[in-house]
């Protein structure tokens, strides 16, 4: 299926098409949704994290060379290549920086989310930057539904009630081109209609049981996307991160919005992105975002 390309002048027709694809396929790819300038800002945040890790490795005598001249999609791998046991699998607790506010609370994106989830919007407490390393099991994501996690790992939180079906949309954005070779995701279109299926624990992730997955694998499609594009997908979509067989890192960001009138089924409540019921709970600015934390 052809991806859509964002076009502000064609907004209403696009939103209708997004809704239809979302219902039938469970996902939609929108090309050129974010400005490249925003993507560059987010990459800069990631580069600063890599700088900090390089400094630490050097200070501890683990590496002699901080490899400053290596490109964005290689440096972290070069630094940890011979010590993958120390490599970061993801960054999630350190994303409260202004540039990520611009991404997570992006007005255009929240407008789209509001069309499908309503005006009470929460940034779900699961937002992650992933450096997917070449041929390393540590960043290999197995076939799963996010709904499988929330059900299995539910921790009974705030309101005392858990929901079985989340009104939630996952967002996935690449920081470098995501290709079959560097381990782009695969989806099984329509699998969101199967409800939450059985998963088994496979450290550190969970995996859909083979009896459910195997007959559907023939329908899997590659989700190849470029920086600036976004992938929106249903929380019940069967998805998987293929092994990265390139020599470069596949950097990406994933996050989720939920109807904020639902509980999160977690200890953490996430952050209110839009609300008519509780306008004062909305994270108003990058400065406020920087003061908050992911344990909220
Ligand atoms: O980035 C990947 O390969 C997988 C991401 C994922 O599982 C998710 O966004 O829910």
The predicted-structure confidence for 196-255, as pLDDT tens digits, reads as follows 999 998 877 899 999 999 999 999 999 999 999 999 999 999 999 999 999 999 999 999
The percentage of the chain sitting over the pLDDT mark of 70, rounded to a whole number, equals 95
- Give nearest CA residue, ligand 1 atom 4: 241
Calculate how far, in angstroms, residue 155's C-alpha sits from the geometric centre of ligand 1. Answer: 21
Strand-pairing partners, residue 122, are 258, 272
The reported pLDDT for the residue numbered 228 is 97
4-36+88-290: CATH topology is Jelly Rolls (2.60.120)
Report the C-alpha dihedral over residues 1, 102, 249, 224, rounded to 10 degrees.
0
pLDDT at 190 over 50: yes
How far apart (Å, rounded) are the C-alpha atoms in residues 225 and 231?
8
Residues recorded for the chain: 296
Does any ligand 1 atom lie closer than 6 A to the CB of residue 102? Answer: no
CB 128 within 8 A of CB 49: no
Closest atom, ligand 1, to C-alpha of 241: 3
Calculate how far, in angstroms, residue 161's C-alpha sits from the geometric centre of ligand 1. Answer: 27
The three-class DSSP label of residue 268 is coil
pLDDT at 27 over 90: yes
Calculate how far, in angstroms, residue 241's C-alpha sits from the geometric centre of ligand 1. Answer: 6
The reported pLDDT for the residue numbered 178 is 98
pLDDT at 78 over 80: yes
Closest atom, ligand 1, to C-alpha of 128: 9
pLDDT at 164 over 80: no
pTM of the predicted model, to two decimals? 0.94
Question: What is the gyration radius of the CA atoms in the chain, in angstroms?
Answer: 19
Selection from 109, 100, 105 nearest residue 175 by Cα: 100
DSSP one-letter code for 244: -
Band (155; pLDDT cuts 50, 70, 90): very low
Question: Long-range contacts made by residues 83-87, C-beta under 8 angstroms, separation at least 24?
Answer: 84/133, 84/136, 84/138, 86/57, 86/62, 87/133, 87/136, 87/138
Does any ligand 1 atom lie closer than 6 A to the CB of residue 143? Answer: no
């Amino acid at each position: 299926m052809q991806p859509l390309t964002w076009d502000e002048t064609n907004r209403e027709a696009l939103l209708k098409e997004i809704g239809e694809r979302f219902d039938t396929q469970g996902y939609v790819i929108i090309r050129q949704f974010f400005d490249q300038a925003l993507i560059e800002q987010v990459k800069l945040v990631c580069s600063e994290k890599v700088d900090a890790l390089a400094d630490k490795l050097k200070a501890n005598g683990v590496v002699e060379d901080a490899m400053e001249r290596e490109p964005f999609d290689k440096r972290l791998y070069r630094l940890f290549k011979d010590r993958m046991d120390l490599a970061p699998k993801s960054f999630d607790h350190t994303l409260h920086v202004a540039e990520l506010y611009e991404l997570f609370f992006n007005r255009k994106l929240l407008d789209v989310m509001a069309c499908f989830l309503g005006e009470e919007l929460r940034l779900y407490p699961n937002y992650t930057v992933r450096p997917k390393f070449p041929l390393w099991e540590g960043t290999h994501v197995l076939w799963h539904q996010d709904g499988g996690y929330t059900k299995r790992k539910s921790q009974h939180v705030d309101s005392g009630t858990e929901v079985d079906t989340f009104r939630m949309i996952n967002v996935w954005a690449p920081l470098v081109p995501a290709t079959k070779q560097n381990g782009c995701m695969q989806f099984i279109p329509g699998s969101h209609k199967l409800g939450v299926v059985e998963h088994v624990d496979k450290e550190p992730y969970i995996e859909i049981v083979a009896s459910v997955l195997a007959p559907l694998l023939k329908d899997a499609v590659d989700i190849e996307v470029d920086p600036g594009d976004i992938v929106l997908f249903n929380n019940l979509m069967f998805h998987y991160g293929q092994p990265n067989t390139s020599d470069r890192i596949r950097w990406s960001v994933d996050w989720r919005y939920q109807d904020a009138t639902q509980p999160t089924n977690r200890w953490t409540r996430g952050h209110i992105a839009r609300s008519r019921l509780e306008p004062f709970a909305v994270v108003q600015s990058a400065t406020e975002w920087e003061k908050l934390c992911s344990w909220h």
